[in-house]
Structure 1
Amino acid sequence: MISGSLVALVTPMLPNGELDWQRLHNLVEFHIEKGTDGIVAVGTTGESATVTVEEHCQILKRVVEQVDGRVPVIAGSGGNATQEAVHLTAEAKAIGADACLLVTPYYNKPTQEGLYRHFATIAEAVAVPQILYNVPGRTSVDMLNETVNRLAGYENIIAIKDATGDLARGKELIDLCADRINVLSGDDATAAELILLGGKGDISVTANVAPAEMHELCALAQEGKAEEARALNQKLMPLHQKLFVESNPIPVKYALQEMGLIDCGIRLPLTPLASSYHEDVKGALSSCGIIS
């Protein structure tokens, strides 16, 4: 089952907003070299909301072909329309993704029954491993643990990315479901603690800029080395915090630009990082030894 440090990969773009295929290639190799345990392509950090369906599939195809089985590739294939999510998930399976990451439907705020039926429909329609994704701070809908527990009965629903940052709730989720699905963190600041409680990994924004460190953090926590994991997490805390001074992925794209790994491209309605935050992000990178 998919576990460890799974990078929520950004989608590199040129200054005019076109996709930057060369830097995408370079980023994938960077992550494999640095020990990232899996790559999430075209997830929400990868600007899935602003690429076209054709681009979405092109990005995923390139990543799957380049990785060539060296690490798992998880396709972002969620949507706020169930049939759109079914379509993207089917495309991801055809392309060869190892699993799909399905965010809760945003804006339309379905009920718990609606959430259950949404994910159940996708699970029944496409025979590919699927990871649920609950991030109420971005979607304005919260999938309750009871609903996740119902969905954990589907054989091809293998995990959930819990981005609530609520450790008590995460422990309850582990107690309910860990015999059937992996519980993964989607909140870098609390990921080590969730893994120490029984979680299996982290789908990480911080891993974009500190892949080796996030791999080590997850490994230490999975091995139960709490003191070492907490010490490393404390060292990385400036990144966990400053990579969210504006809406993700604005700050992490700026950080990668400062590292020389991508160009400045980002698509509206997202905008480049405000100059007032530049020193915050550069300071976090410097404090973690990523830039001098």
Structure 2
Amino acid sequence: MFRGSIPALVTPFRDEAFAEDCYRDFVEWQIAEGSHGLVPVGTTGESATLIAEDHYRVIEVCVDQVKGRVPVIAGCGSNSTQSAIQNMQAAQERGADAALIVLPYYNRPNQDGLIRHFEMLVEACDLPIVVYNVPGRTVTDINVETLARIARLPNVVGIKDASGQLARVSAQRLACGVDFVQLSGNDDMTLGFMAMGGVGSISVTANVAPRLCADFHEACLNGDWDGALRLQDRLYPLHAALFSDASPGPAKYALSRVFPDFPLDVRLPMTPPSDASRRAVDAALDHAGIAVAGNRA
């Protein structure tokens, strides 16, 4: 159902207001550059700083601009089951193709709580679900056995795995079946993830380098591992630089280097990246051969 390079889109702001015109242009560029799908209002889209009205408007604009050309997987997770249901229903009403559901954060549910959470979601809404496991942010992890039980629920179609444990790709493939979609949540690990049975990634780097990331995934999916390794080497410094300060600050800075009118604004408590982070991004863009403002062909 979902494969390839799927950027977790940044949300552009001007004076803290959603910059809809910029976002529409950004979505159009992503599709033109070969992205295989799009994720609005994920972590990189600053979903944690958006009020519900803004959250739903970003999804609506993304779906409207895409017009069915690629799948839209809307960020819908919450630490509250009822809030996640509300988000899913709103995303479905606005035409999203699936919901990205991060494991409930902060309250640290046990494995039974995770199962009940997803059971309630599928009972309340039939939008396809991609589970999102990112223990470094949620302080919650999902066991392979628990994921296998959740994978058997109607409409639970895959996982975005940002656990950082590559062996899980094989364990989850055996437990959940070969048709269960596994998407990497760590750009720097995606080459190994794909070799072990993954089919794509939900990516931060693809915000900035969508064509290179799309080509990388096509190489992996076609078994061109030498080509994929060359692209990995080209992209690796950018993977690191985009997390040299709190995300998505470095990604927005990188986009402002590629597009001079792309706004750097982030919503508090997020802040713009440090000077050291900006230098790392500049060096990584140069290493990747990405043209920046003033040096574009």
- TM-score if structure 2 supplies the norm length? 0.95
Partner of 1:265: 265
Q: Which residue of 2 aligns with 1:200?
A: 199
User: Retained in 2: the 8 A contact 1:78–1:88?
Assistant: yes
**Amino acid across the alignment from 1:112:** Q
Worse overlay, 67-76 or 248-257 = 248-257
Question: How many Å apart are 1:165 and its aligned residue?
Answer: 2.1
- Could you tell me which residue of structure 2 aligns to residue 148 of structure 1? 147
CA RMSD of aligned residues (A): 1.1
Q: Deviations over 1:162-191 (max 9, x none)?
A: 012221122211222133421111110111
**2:185 maps to 1:186:** yes
The answer to whether the 8 Å contact 1:40/1:73 transfers is: yes
CA distance in 2, matches of 1:239, 1:178: 33
Aligned to 1:63: 62
Classify the secondary structure of the residue corresponding to 1:161: strand
Query: Kindly, what percent of the aligned residue pairs are identical?
Result: 43
Distance in 2 between residues matched to 1:247 and 1:143, nearest whole Å? 25
Question: What is the TM-score of this pair, normalised by structure 1?
Answer: 0.97
Q: State the alpha-carbon separation in 2 of the partners of residues 178 and 7 from structure 1.
A: 25
Q: Unaligned stretches of 5+ in structure 2? A: none
* Mapped contact 1:185–1:199 kept (Cα < 8 A): yes
SS at match of 1:224: coil
Q: Matches of residues 63-142 of structure 1 in structure 2 within 5 Å?
A: 63-142=62-141
Which residue pairs with 1:50 in the alignment? 49
- How far the C-alpha of 1:276 sits from its partner, in A, is 2.5
1:23 equivalent to 2:22? Answer yes
Q: How many pairs are equivalent?
A: 291
SS at match of 1:264: coil
Contact 1:13 1:262 in 2 (8 A): no
Give 3-state SS (helix, strand or coil) of 1:2's partner: coil
SS of 1:39's equivalent in the other structure is coil
Aligned-partner SS, 2:32: helix
Deviation per CA, 1:224-254: give whole Å up to 9, x if none. Answer: 2212111211110001111101122121111
- Distance, in Å, in 2 between the alignment partners of 1:137 and 1:84 is 22
Moved segments of 4+, more than 4 Å: none
Partner of 1:256: 255
Q: Secondary structure of 2:160's partner?
A: strand
Report the Cα distance in structure 1 between the residues aligned to 2:149 and 2:102, rounded to whole angstroms. 17
SS at match of 2:246: coil
Asked whether the equivalents of residues 249 and 264 of structure 2 are also in contact (C-alpha less than 8 Å), the reply is no
Which digits, 9 at most, give the CA deviation of each residue in 1:74-120, with x for residues without a partner? Answer: 11000110000000001111111011100011111111111111112
The corresponding residue for 2:158 is: 159
Alpha-carbon distance between aligned partners in 2 of 1:249 and 1:178, rounded to the nearest angstrom? 33
Q: 2:204·2:251 contact (CA, 8 Å) conserved in 1?
A: yes
Per-residue displacement from partner, 1:52-82 (whole Å, max 9, x unpaired)?
1011111111110111101111110001100
* Preserved contact between residue 77 and residue 102 of structure 2 (Cα < 8 Å): yes
User: What is the 5 A alignment of 1:269-284?
Assistant: 269-284=269-284
